[in-house]
Structure formats: C-alpha cells, structure tokens
Amino acid sequence: MELLKTFLFLIAVIDPLGTIPIFLVATKPFDRPMKRKIAIRATMFAALILVFFIVAGQLIMEAMEISLSAFQISGGAILFLFSLTMVFGHGEAHGETQAVPNHEHVTIFPIAMPSIASPGAIMAVVLLTDNYTFSIGQQFITTLILFLVLILTCGVLLAARKIQEKVGDTGITVISKIMGLILASFAVQNVLTGIKAYFRL
C-alpha cells in the first residue's frame, strides 16, 4: 500500500497528462522524428534533475539555509512567467520558431523543467527521500518508482504526436491559451502555499 501511495503521489505531482499541452505547444515547429527525440531527451533530463535532488537536494538546501517553502515560491514565480507566454503568445508557428532557437532549448525548458521536473515534483522527491525519515533502501525503492512514473510520462509524450495531428495548429493554440490560464492559477497556488507554509498560517 505504501508503494502504491508513493506511485500515485508521484503521478499527481509530475502530472503526465498535464504535460501534453506544454509539449504540443513547445514542439509545434518541429517534425515528427524531432518531437520523438525531444520527448525522450526531456524525460531523461527531468530524471537527472529529480535524481540530483534526491541525492543532494536536501543537503544543498540545508547548507544554504533554503526552506522548501522558499523553493516553492520561487518555482511558482518561474512557472507563472512561463504561463504568461502561453496566454499572451500569438500561437503562430513562425513566431514560435523564432522564439525557440533550437530543440535543445525546448527540451530543457519548458518540457524537462518546469513541466516534468516541476517545483512540486522536486519538493515531492526531496520529502519522500528525507534522510532523517527514510533509510537508504527505502530511498532506492522510491527512486525506482520515480523512474516508472517517468517512463509512463515519456510514453504519454510520444502519444501526444497523434493528438497534434488530429487537433491541428488552431486546436493547439486554443489548448495553449486554456492551459496557460490553468497553469498560471497553479503557479499562484504554489506561491500562496509556500507563503502559508513559511509563515505557518
């Protein structure tokens, strides 16, 4: 039951389905083979980021005296800025091609981070592998569950190509505007949650 809870919790914070609109918008200028390459590499980069925080995140934040609430606030602010580009962007392929110079940039931002390896996901893996609460064996099992969730996320992104073919550029633009608004609300909620935790309200 504990393993199932951990799996469902990581599914919720990484949110594979919620990554689809961001992936579709960010990769719209690229062809099918490049989309596949971006999906796989973005998942790998996200895995590296999350594993890094599993191994060293808690130590770094404690050494720099950075609280989880402060990290959540800063992550929410970055996520909010990205959501504004989704809401107010023109959604035209030519304009987005200029805004995104190459696939490497898209792979790392916004797909790998903050979409897959979101502030919430980073905080989740740090909490689930707390050195003062969980043994090395338990942390290793949590890491394996994380990899399972990331493999599922990669599969979802690879299937997103079919969605793009069906809805077209106009549909992607509409999805982008709607999801941008939802993402902005989620980002603000992250900031408010961080403030509430910091001040213990």
pLDDT digits (tens, 9 = 90+) for 139-193: 999 999 999 999 999 999 999 878 767 777 677 677 768 877 877 887 788 789 8
CA distance 171 to 45: 28
Among 46-60, 63-77, 103-117, the range with the most confident prediction by mean pLDDT is 46-60
Average pLDDT, whole number, for the chain? 83
pLDDT at 153: 94
113 CB neighbour count, 10 Å cutoff: 21
pLDDT above 70 for 97: no
- % of the chain beyond a pLDDT of 90: 29
Please give the angle made by the CA atoms of 149, 121 and 119, to the nearest 5 degrees. Answer: 150
Residue 100: pLDDT over 50: no
Contact partners, residue 184, CB within 8 Å, separation at least 6: 80, 83, 84, 87
pLDDT tens-digit readout, 29-59: 888 899 999 999 999 999 999 999 999 988 8
Predicted local distance difference test score (pLDDT) of residue 96: 38
User: Ranked by mean pLDDT, which of 35-44, 74-83, 116-125 comes out on top?
Assistant: 35-44
Tell me, yes or no, if the pTM score tops 0.85.
no
16, 156 in Cβ contact below 8 A? yes
d(C-alpha 92, C-alpha 118), whole Å: 26
Letter for the amino acid at 171? G
pLDDT of residue 116: 93
